[in-house]
């Protein structure tokens, strides 16, 4: 028969695992690779089209842009501003890791050099690098479950660390996802000194073209109080045949 002492030891051991190693217990119930793959593919597809609004908020002014966005795979993106009239026709083309902007006021196409990748895109909190970014969480990061000091029930927490040989700005990304369906609700981005630099909140889970995705993405820089950029999906469709002429320099200059 098992002695009382051994029984107590077993109970204490299980209790210790629960308190000290919650991430280990979570890993036994969920596959972190499946979660990362799901998040990686949440907005991606063979092709996509979206009508979106982008609200830029600063302590001194606010403005809202309307835009159409086409994508094909991981390496092609085309964005055209449709409103307000002051910005109408402004466009961005991304092919692989190269990027061009078209400015209708000057009728010029400008290629964005590497030195400008961390500059603001359209005055927002998104950088040119965010538009060009071709990195994959699944392929270019290592990832593991972690447990924050005050975890919320019903959520999983995953830490993503980029490969050292890649030119990725962030030293790590901490993701909070719903345990029931792995949809992200929050991402925290840290610099090389482990300072929290920006937070992305995902809100209003909605159905677009049969795909359940957060309708709103709210990006808040942590070093600039009072600033944020909010992206809102108005319409979206996925996996259809995109006109190849969309992803061309000629299309940058074309009328809406």
Domain boundaries, the chain: 32-253
What's the average model confidence in pLDDT over 92-98?
93
- Give kind and range of the element (H or E) at residue 185: strand 184-190
Q: Looking at the predicted structure, is the pLDDT value of residue 10 above 70?
A: no
pLDDT in tens, 204-240: 999 999 999 999 999 999 999 999 999 999 999 999 9
Rounded distance between C-alpha atoms, residue 172 and residue 250, angstroms: 38
Spatial distance between the Cα atoms of 166 and 135, rounded to a whole number of angstroms: 9
Residues constituting the chain: 256
pLDDT at 255: 60
- Mean pLDDT confidence for 82-101: 95
What pLDDT, on a 0 to 100 scale, did the predictor assign at position 25?
55
Percent of residues, the chain, with pLDDT higher than 90:
73
41 pLDDT more than 90:
no
Rounded CA gap, 198 and 208, in Å?
27
The CATH fold of domain 32-253? outer membrane lipoprotein receptor (LolB), chain A (2.50.20)
The model's pTM? 0.86
pLDDT at 73 over 90: no
R_g of the chain computed on alpha carbons: 22
Query: For 48-65, what is each residue's pLDDT tens digit?
Result: 999 999 999 999 999 999
CA distances from 117 to 43, 99, 145, 177 (A): 22, 9, 31, 29
- At residue 114, the 3 state secondary structure works out as helix
HSE of 3 in the Cβ direction (CA atoms, 13 Å)?
3
């Amino acid at each position: 028969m098992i002695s009382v002492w051994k029984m107590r030891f077993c109970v204490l051991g299980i209790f210790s695992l629960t308190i000290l190693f919650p991430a280990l217990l979570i890993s036994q119930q969920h596959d972190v690779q499946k979660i990362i793959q799901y998040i990686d593919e949440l907005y991606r597809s063979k092709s996509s089209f979206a009508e979106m609004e982008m609200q830029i908020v600063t302590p001194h002014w606010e403005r809202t842009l309307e835009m159409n966005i086409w994508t094909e795979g991981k390496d092609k993106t085309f964005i055209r501003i449709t409103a307000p009239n002051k910005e109408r026709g402004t466009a961005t083309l991304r092919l692989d890791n190269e990027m061009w902007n078209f400015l209708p006021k000057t009728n010029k196409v400008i290629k964005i050099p590497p030195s400008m990748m961390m500059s603001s895109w359209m005055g927002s909190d998104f950088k040119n690098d965010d538009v060009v970014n071709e990195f994959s969480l699944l392929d270019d990061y290592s990832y593991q479950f972690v447990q924050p000091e005050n975890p919320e029930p019903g959520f999983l927490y995953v830490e993503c660390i980029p490969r050292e040989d890649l030119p990725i700005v962030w030293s790590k990304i901490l993701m909070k996802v719903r345990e029931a369906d792995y949809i992200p609700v929050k991402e925290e981005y840290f610099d090389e000194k482990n300072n929290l630099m920006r937070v992305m909140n995902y809100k209003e889970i909605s159905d677009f073209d049969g795909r359940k995705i957060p309708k709103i993405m709210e990006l808040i820089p942590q070093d600039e109080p009072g600033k944020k950029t909010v992206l809102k999906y108005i319409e979206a469709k996925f996996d259809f045949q995109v006109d190849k002429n969309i992803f061309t320099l000629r299309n940058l200059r074309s009328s809406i």
